[in-house]
Amino acid sequence: MEFPRIEPLGEAAWLVRFADRLDPAANHAAIAFRAALEADPLDDVEETASSLASVLVRVGGNAAKVERALRIRLGQTDWDQAPIEGRRRWSIPCAFGGEAGPQLGEAAEMAGLSPDQAVEEIAATPVDVLALGFAPGMPYLGFLPEYWDLPRQTGLTPKVPKGALVVAVRQFVLFDVEAPTGWRQIGRTRFPCFDPARDPAVALRPGDEVRFDPVADLDWIAGHMGGAVVEAVP
Amino acid sequence: MIVLRSCGPLVTHQGDGHPGHMGDGLSRAGFADVRARQEAAALLGVAPEEVGALETPGSPLEIACEEAVTLAFVGAPMEVAAEGRPVPWHASRRVGAGEVLRFRPLGQGVYSYIAAIGLTGPDGTDSAHLTAGIGRALESGDRLSVEDRAQPPERRLTAAPDRFGGGVLRCVPTPQTSLFGDEVARFEAVSFTRDRRGNRQGIRLDGEGGFATEKQLTLLSDFVLTGDVQMTGDGVPYILGPECQTTGGYPRIAHVIAADQPRAFQAPPGAPLSFRFVSLEDARAARPRSPGVEPLVRDPRDIPDLGRYQLIDGITDGRGDEGRS
């Protein structure tokens, strides 16, 4: 099927879809296209958002007019290649293995690595925020190398704690709430993705770069951002 | 100030919600029954954005008003008593300073609203989103402020709404509807009932058999909307509510149009619900008209202490808003 594609979502929104499977180029296009819609908004658009491979455009007026404007905007550039402005680079302390990451050994073995190799590789490889979702501010991060294409567990882990770093399908998710999950927990951070009392309440943005810094023990982590450091990407 | 003298579980402040944050993973919240917000606005003579409310999912309440205020009672009907005397629902009421009101559920619908102009949550908060950790459930002793302005006269809805017992929900297809193949026709034919399990995140439906698709587990996570009918891995349908997740990997067989979402979320456990697909054009044209209101004439014998009320302002032409439109 032909991409990008514009599909109705409900009666008052459009979905601009750049792929129907996980694809780094499509994710880049979605983030860049959404950023362009935010920087130079279309008439009658109430809200935009990007996910792993698509952009939501919520309409507050004439839906057909918005669809035409979206088609024109889509044709203006190659969104796979368009630069993403305002990216930031985060370094987030993370404890791996043990109580902080009870499934590190299992996940590493499925990826064909020893636990130490896995942690070393993760520490050396920055990942991008692909999308925010599930709960407010919670990032999907990727893409990891092909051998991290781990299936989700068939049985859910009844509960991972706030701060859990979990892995599946070439991605990490950093949980900001206690929740059941089919992804495997390999580490834990003290990074608060969402805090309604903070401005902005959501820390990460799609397109930001994140590196997880191995620490032996979270007890040493101080500061309201869980020890994270952020800088602009030049 | 409105003081909560007693308050059952899961009563929250609701207003406009938190629009514009889908990209952050935050659904809108706000009134579960958005039609009730329009009704409250019509009764109070203001725009919906100016209305705040206590939303109760059938929990009993007792409130006291420290100064005179006009309250609108909308959504799922409750039994209201003002110092022992019954008070009409689907209507607004000028409540005198010091007056105490008691609210009890009647088993119709789910969400009831006690609304006022500029009503805010505790400490000025707006539109609790308990799933996201924004705001909190209200408790006995909480004090809610209302806007200090001239209060409107008493009105009632010209027609009592009938969305509190389930019924047919109009819906449009989603990008995944075609994955269900022949199951879509069965989905439209089945009469579901609203399960006991349900909250502001979503309501579970009981029906005959599951509705599975082969692609169930391999879909890329994508946006979900309030009103989507999502099938879980075992094929059980849920209608997603105002505090739903913003993205999900389960397929959605249909999307309940905005005009019919109030009927969906007001269906009490056990109520029948079924689905009928309509075209996008029909869905977009289905926007309901502004609720009609008319002056409420109270029998003076129902007013225990006339001296507590201002009786001369707020005179209308007697035709109500409907006569002007």
Domain boundary among A51, A74, A97: A74
Does one domain contain both A171 and A201? yes
Is the link from the previous residue into B60 a cis peptide, with omega within 30 of 0? Answer: no
**Same domain (yes/no): B30, B152:** yes
Chain A CB contacts of B228 under 8 Å are: 10
User: Is residue A97, in this structure, part of any structural domain at all?
Assistant: yes
CA distances from A223 to A192, A213, A226 (A): 11, 16, 6
Chain B residues with beta carbon closer than 8 angstroms to that of A50:
23
Q: Taking CB atoms and an 8 Å cutoff, what residues of chain A touch B131? A: 135
pLDDT at B210: 80
Do B281 and B296 share a domain, yes or no? Answer: no
The residues in A 110-129 lying below 8 A from B, measured between CB atoms, are none
Looking at the fold, whether A210 and A154 belong to one and the same domain comes out as yes
pLDDT at site B305: 58
pLDDT(A144) > 60: yes
Tell me if chain B has a CB within 8 Å of the CB of A234.
no
Is A81 among the domain residues? no
- One digit per residue, the tens of pLDDT, for chain B of length 325 reads 999 999 999 999 999 999 999 999 999 999 999 999 999 999 999 999 999 999 999 999 999 999 999 999 999 999 999 988 999 999 999 999 999 999 999 999 999 999 999 999 998 889 999 989 899 999 999 999 998 888 999 999 999 999 999 999 999 999 999 999 999 999 999 999 999 999 999 999 998 778 877 665 567 888 999 999 998 877 889 999 999 999 988 899 999 999 999 999 999 999 999 999 999 999 999 988 899 999 998 766 666 555 555 554 544 444 444 433 3
Cβ <8 Å between A58 and B247: no
**Whether residue A122 sits in one domain with residue A66:** no
Claim to verify: residue A119 and residue A202 sit in the same structural domain: yes
Total count of domains within chain B: 2
Q: Does A134 contact chain B (CB < 8 Å)? A: yes
CA angle A66, A67, A69 (to 5 degrees): 65
Q: Do A47 and B20 touch (CB under 8 A)?
A: yes
Name every chain A residue with its beta carbon within 8 A of the beta carbon of B245.
133-135
Name every chain A residue with its beta carbon within 8 A of the beta carbon of B123: none
B322 belongs to a structural domain: no
Say if residue B137 is in the same domain as residue B19: yes
Are A70 and A92 contained in the same domain?
no
Number of domains observed in the structure of chain A: 2
Mean pLDDT of A33-62: 96
Q: What range defines the domain where residue B183 resides? A: 167-285
Question: The domain containing residue A37 runs over which residues?
Answer: 5-74
Instruction: Say whether A73 sits in a helix, a strand or coil.
Output: helix
Task: Judge if A42 and A131 occupy the same domain.
Answer: no
Q: According to the model, what pLDDT value does residue A165 have?
A: 97
What does the pLDDT read at residue A179? 86
Phi, psi of B39 (to 5 degrees): -65, -45
**Cβ pair A134:B225 closer than 8 A:** no
In this predicted structure, the answer to whether residue A41 has a pLDDT above a threshold of 90 is yes
Which residues of chain B does A15 touch, with a Cβ-Cβ cutoff of 8 Å? 175, 222-223
Whether residues A104 and A186 fall in one domain: yes
CA B314/CA A220 separation, integer angstroms: 64
Write the pLDDT tens digit of every residue in A187-198: 999 999 999 888
The CATH code of the domain that includes B176 is 2.40.100.10
Angle between helices A24-39 and A63-74 (to 10 degrees): 120
Interface of B with A (CB under 8 A): 19-26, 131-134, 172, 174-175, 220-223, 225, 227-228, 245-247, 255, 257-258, 280, 283-284
Q: How many CB atoms lie within 10 A of CB A168?
A: 20
pTM of the model as a whole: 0.90
Q: What is the pLDDT of residues B265-313, one digit of tens each?
A: 999 999 999 999 999 999 999 988 899 999 998 766 666 555 555 554 5
Mutation choice for B interface testing from A1, A9, A11 by most B CBs within 10 A: A11
Residues of B in contact with A56 (CB under 8 A): 22-23, 223
A83 located within any domain: no
Say whether both A55 and A107 belong to one domain.
no
The verdict on B296 and B281 lying in the same domain is no
Whether A121 and A211 map to the same domain: the answer is yes
- Residue whose entry in the numeric block shows the structure tokens 């989905």: B187
Chain A nearest-CA distance from B66, in A, is 30
Residue B121 is predicted with a pLDDT of 94
At residue B314, the pLDDT reads: 46
Q: Assess whether A127 and A11 both reside in one domain.
A: no
CATH number at residue A197: 2.40.100.10
Does B201 map to a domain?
yes
CB-nearest partner of A10 from B25, B133, B227: B227
For residue A180, pLDDT over 90 is answered with no
Last residue of a domain, one of A74, A106, A123: A74
Smallest Cβ–Cβ distance between B221 and the set A7, A133, A202 belongs to A133
> What's the pLDDT at B303?
60
Residue of B nearest to A155 (CA): B233
A195 φ, ψ to 5°?
A: -145, 105
| Shared-domain flag, residues A201 and A131 | yes
The pLDDT of residue B147 is: 87
Question: B323 lies in a domain?
Answer: no
Of the partner residues A7, A12, A133, the one whose CB lies closest to the CB of residue B246 = A133
